[in-house]
Structure 1
Amino acid sequence: MKVKYIAEPYGHDEFEKEINDFIKDKKIIDIKFQENFSISGLNEDGTKSALIMYEEHENG
Protein backbone atom coordinates (compact mmCIF):
# COMPACT_ATOMS: atom_id res chain seq x y z
CA MET A 1 0.00 0.00 0.00
CA LYS A 2 1.15 3.52 -0.81
CA VAL A 3 -0.15 6.94 0.19
CA LYS A 4 -0.43 10.28 -1.60
CA TYR A 5 -1.18 13.59 0.13
CA ILE A 6 -2.79 16.38 -1.91
CA ALA A 7 -3.50 19.83 -0.43
CA GLU A 8 -4.79 23.02 -1.96
CA PRO A 9 -5.71 26.46 -0.61
CA TYR A 10 -9.37 27.48 -0.62
CA GLY A 11 -10.44 29.33 -3.72
CA HIS A 12 -8.62 27.08 -6.18
CA ASP A 13 -10.67 24.85 -8.46
CA GLU A 14 -8.03 22.26 -9.31
CA PHE A 15 -8.41 20.11 -6.15
CA GLU A 16 -10.99 17.67 -7.52
CA LYS A 17 -9.26 17.47 -10.92
CA GLU A 18 -5.90 16.72 -9.29
CA ILE A 19 -7.44 13.89 -7.25
CA ASN A 20 -9.27 12.42 -10.26
CA ASP A 21 -6.16 12.62 -12.44
CA PHE A 22 -4.08 10.86 -9.79
CA ILE A 23 -6.51 8.00 -9.06
CA LYS A 24 -7.53 7.15 -12.63
CA ASP A 25 -4.93 4.38 -13.00
CA LYS A 26 -4.71 3.25 -9.35
CA LYS A 27 -6.50 0.70 -7.18
CA ILE A 28 -7.95 2.93 -4.44
CA ILE A 29 -8.15 1.56 -0.91
CA ASP A 30 -9.49 4.71 0.80
CA ILE A 31 -9.54 8.50 0.58
CA LYS A 32 -9.66 10.71 3.68
CA PHE A 33 -10.64 14.36 3.30
CA GLN A 34 -9.93 17.23 5.68
CA GLU A 35 -10.62 20.96 5.64
CA ASN A 36 -8.75 23.47 7.79
CA PHE A 37 -9.90 27.05 8.20
CA SER A 38 -8.56 29.86 10.37
CA ILE A 39 -9.31 33.53 10.88
CA SER A 40 -6.58 35.84 12.15
CA GLY A 41 -7.54 39.49 12.37
CA LEU A 42 -8.91 40.40 8.95
CA ASN A 43 -7.26 37.47 7.20
CA GLU A 44 -9.07 34.24 6.40
CA ASP A 45 -7.04 31.23 5.40
CA GLY A 46 -7.89 27.63 4.68
CA THR A 47 -6.86 24.48 2.90
CA LYS A 48 -8.52 21.34 1.60
CA SER A 49 -6.56 18.12 1.72
CA ALA A 50 -6.91 14.48 0.77
CA LEU A 51 -4.93 11.47 1.90
CA ILE A 52 -5.23 8.76 -0.74
CA MET A 53 -4.36 5.16 0.12
CA TYR A 54 -3.77 3.12 -3.01
CA GLU A 55 -1.99 0.29 -4.77
CA GLU A 56 -0.50 0.33 -8.25
CA HIS A 57 -2.25 -1.93 -10.79
CA GLU A 58 -0.22 -5.01 -11.56
CA ASN A 59 1.14 -5.14 -15.08
CA GLY A 60 0.36 -8.17 -17.21
Structure 2
Amino acid sequence: MKVKYIAEPYGYDEFEKEINDFIKDKKIIDIKFQENFSLSEDYKDGMKSALIMYEEHENENAAH
Protein backbone atom coordinates (compact mmCIF):
# COMPACT_ATOMS: atom_id res chain seq x y z
CA MET A 1 0.00 0.00 0.00
CA LYS A 2 1.14 3.54 -0.79
CA VAL A 3 -0.19 6.96 0.21
CA LYS A 4 -0.48 10.29 -1.57
CA TYR A 5 -1.24 13.56 0.19
CA ILE A 6 -2.83 16.37 -1.85
CA ALA A 7 -3.51 19.79 -0.31
CA GLU A 8 -4.81 22.94 -1.95
CA PRO A 9 -5.83 26.40 -0.74
CA TYR A 10 -9.48 26.79 0.20
CA GLY A 11 -11.64 27.47 -2.83
CA TYR A 12 -9.13 26.06 -5.31
CA ASP A 13 -11.30 24.81 -8.18
CA GLU A 14 -8.87 22.19 -9.47
CA PHE A 15 -8.78 20.12 -6.24
CA GLU A 16 -11.26 17.50 -7.48
CA LYS A 17 -9.60 17.32 -10.91
CA GLU A 18 -6.19 16.78 -9.33
CA ILE A 19 -7.54 13.88 -7.25
CA ASN A 20 -9.32 12.30 -10.23
CA ASP A 21 -6.23 12.62 -12.43
CA PHE A 22 -4.11 10.91 -9.77
CA ILE A 23 -6.48 8.00 -9.05
CA LYS A 24 -7.51 7.16 -12.62
CA ASP A 25 -4.86 4.42 -13.00
CA LYS A 26 -4.65 3.31 -9.35
CA LYS A 27 -6.43 0.71 -7.22
CA ILE A 28 -7.91 2.91 -4.48
CA ILE A 29 -8.14 1.54 -0.97
CA ASP A 30 -9.52 4.67 0.74
CA ILE A 31 -9.58 8.47 0.52
CA LYS A 32 -9.76 10.66 3.64
CA PHE A 33 -10.77 14.31 3.21
CA GLN A 34 -10.20 17.21 5.59
CA GLU A 35 -10.97 20.93 5.47
CA ASN A 36 -9.28 23.42 7.77
CA PHE A 37 -10.45 27.00 8.00
CA SER A 38 -9.19 29.80 10.24
CA LEU A 39 -10.68 33.26 10.57
CA SER A 40 -9.38 36.40 12.24
CA GLU A 41 -10.28 40.09 11.89
CA ASP A 42 -7.90 40.68 8.98
CA TYR A 43 -7.21 37.22 7.66
CA LYS A 44 -9.19 34.31 6.26
CA ASP A 45 -7.38 31.12 5.38
CA GLY A 46 -8.40 27.62 4.53
CA MET A 47 -7.00 24.41 3.14
CA LYS A 48 -8.58 21.31 1.65
CA SER A 49 -6.63 18.08 1.77
CA ALA A 50 -6.99 14.47 0.76
CA LEU A 51 -5.00 11.45 1.90
CA ILE A 52 -5.26 8.76 -0.76
CA MET A 53 -4.39 5.17 0.10
CA TYR A 54 -3.77 3.14 -3.03
CA GLU A 55 -1.96 0.31 -4.76
CA GLU A 56 -0.43 0.34 -8.21
CA HIS A 57 -2.05 -1.98 -10.74
CA GLU A 58 -0.09 -5.21 -11.18
CA ASN A 59 1.01 -4.41 -14.75
CA GLU A 60 2.61 -1.16 -13.48
CA ASN A 61 4.56 -3.02 -10.77
CA ALA A 62 6.02 -5.41 -13.35
CA ALA A 63 7.46 -2.50 -15.31
CA HIS A 64 9.51 -1.24 -12.34
TM superposition score category, shorter chain reference: over 0.9
Rg (Cα) greater in structure: 2
Structure 1's unaligned 5+ residue stretches are: none
**Distance (whole Å) between structure 2 residues aligned to residue 11 and residue 36 of structure 1:** 12
Greater strand content: 1
Report % sequence identity.
Answer: 87
**Distance (whole Å) between structure 1 residues aligned to residue 39 and residue 5 of structure 2:** 24
**Hey, what does 2:20 align to over in structure 1?**
20
Q: When the two structures are superposed, what TM-score results if normalisation uses the length of structure 1?
A: 0.94
Q: When the two structures are superposed, what TM-score results if normalisation uses the length of structure 2?
A: 0.89
**Hey, what does 1:30 align to over in structure 2?**
30
Q: Count matched residues.
A: 60
Report the RMSD for the aligned CA atoms in angstroms.
Answer: 1.1
Greater helix content: 2
Runs of 4+ in 1 over 6 A off after TM superposition: none
